[in-house]
């Protein structure tokens, strides 16, 4: 039985990955700062902090592959707490890499399209210039470069998966699609940040499949691989599309409090999936509308449960 440690396994993408690994027959440990019920009955939960090496070291003993997803991912949080974000995302990644080298484990490292900043050309391939526009993005660039350096310096088997905007069930409301869905479930008025940016959204099941493939492709070792759809939608159009599916006619407004600082806003992201297709044999399978409908259904069911009988 193959063994895996998933850091951040209780998170949005991590919990879906834990389920997929268990269903594929892996033995899985989920490593998180707080205890949460396992995402799958066959997974084992470990409480620990990636910032503390001893806890990472103990968790990694006997593990074949580490899927490293633990991170502080909120961009607004990174404006207020840049030190904490850097310690978790960069120093935490360093601990993962050092422990993986000690225990001879492969690392599937998670990046983010935010490291590119606003698109200088589209679609954006892996050679697109890097340009942090937030402390969060800067911390992830540091983490990515640490992962690359451990592969080049020590021969550590590392694959970096760079997802564009992921969405689906269980996602936090701080992300734009859950925020829109939850807002429309509660009110006819919808308040969002900037409405003009364009994003490339991928359903979470497709993103998770890319992680699984990355762990199984020897030719992917040492590579950074973009994972997206190559299709974009403006946030204002996204809100109207979700409203259409939900049968709502909302009053959509921009909220100054929810906007990024002007120079920090990433105006456009659009993924070039050529390398993922060639290297991993990956391409998205869930259509955007189907993914939205499945996400909306999940949030509706959750609202019903919270409302009670």
CA distance 158 to 218: 10
> Across-strand partners of 240?
none
Helices (H) and strands (E) in the chain, counts: 11, 13
CA distance 308 to 62: 44
10 Å CB burial of residue 214 (0-12, 13-18, 19+) is buried
Residue pair 212/24 in contact by the 8 Å Cβ criterion:
yes
Crossing angle of helices 92-103 and 135-154, in 10° steps, is 20
Q: How far does the chain reach from its first CA to its final CA, in angstroms?
A: 43
Tell me which H or E stretch contains 232: none
Question: Which active-site residues does the annotation give?
Answer: 136
CA-to-CA dists, residue 290 to 168, 235, 286, 295, 298, angstroms: 10, 18, 6, 9, 12
E strand intervals along the chain: 3-7, 27-32, 43-47, 65-68, 106-110, 158-163, 165-167, 189-192, 198-199, 201-203, 224-227, 233-234, 251-254
Residue pair 70/18 in contact by the 8 Å Cβ criterion:
no
CA torsion through residues 288, 179, 13, 114, sign: positive
How many Å separate Cα 230 from the centre of its chain?
17
């Amino acid at each position: 039985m193959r063994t895996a440690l998933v850091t951040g396994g209780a998170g949005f993408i991590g919990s879906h990955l834990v389920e997929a690994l268990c269903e594929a027959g892996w033995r899985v440990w989920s490593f998180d700062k707080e205890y949460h019920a396992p995402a799958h009955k066959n997974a084992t939960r470990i409480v620990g902090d990636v910032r503390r090496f001893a806890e990472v070291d103990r968790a990694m003993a006997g593990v074949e592959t580490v899927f490293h997803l633990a991170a502080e991912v909120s961009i607004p949080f990174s404006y207020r707490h840049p030190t904490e974000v850097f310690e978790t995302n960069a120093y935490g990644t360093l601990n993962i890499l050092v422990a993986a080298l000690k225990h001879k484990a492969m690392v599937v490292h998670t990046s983010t399209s935010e490291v590119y900043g606003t698109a200088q050309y589209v679609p954006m391939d892996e050679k697109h210039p890097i340009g942090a526009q937030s402390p969060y993005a800067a911390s992830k660039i540091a983490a990515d470069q640490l992962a690359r350096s451990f592969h080049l310096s020590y021969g550590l088997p590392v694959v970096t998966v760079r997802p564009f905007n992921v969405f689906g069930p269980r996602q936090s409301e701080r992300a734009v699609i859950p925020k829109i869905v939850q807002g429309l479930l509660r009110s006819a008025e919808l308040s969002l940040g900037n409405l003009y940016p364009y994003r490339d959204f991928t359903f979470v099941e497709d993103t998770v499949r890319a992680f699984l493939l990355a762990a199984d492709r020897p030719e992917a070792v040492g590579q950074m691989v973009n994972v997206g759809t190559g299709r974009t939608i403006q946030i204002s159009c996204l809100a109207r599309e979700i409203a259409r599916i939900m049968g709502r006619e909302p009053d959509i407004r921009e909220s100054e409090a929810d906007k990024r600082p002007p120079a920090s806003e990433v105006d456009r992201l659009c993924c070039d999936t050529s390398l993922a297709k060639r290297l991993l044999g990956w391409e998205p399978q869930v259509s955007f509308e189907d993914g939205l409908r499945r996400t909306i259904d999940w949030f509706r069911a959750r609202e019903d449960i919270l409302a009670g009988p």
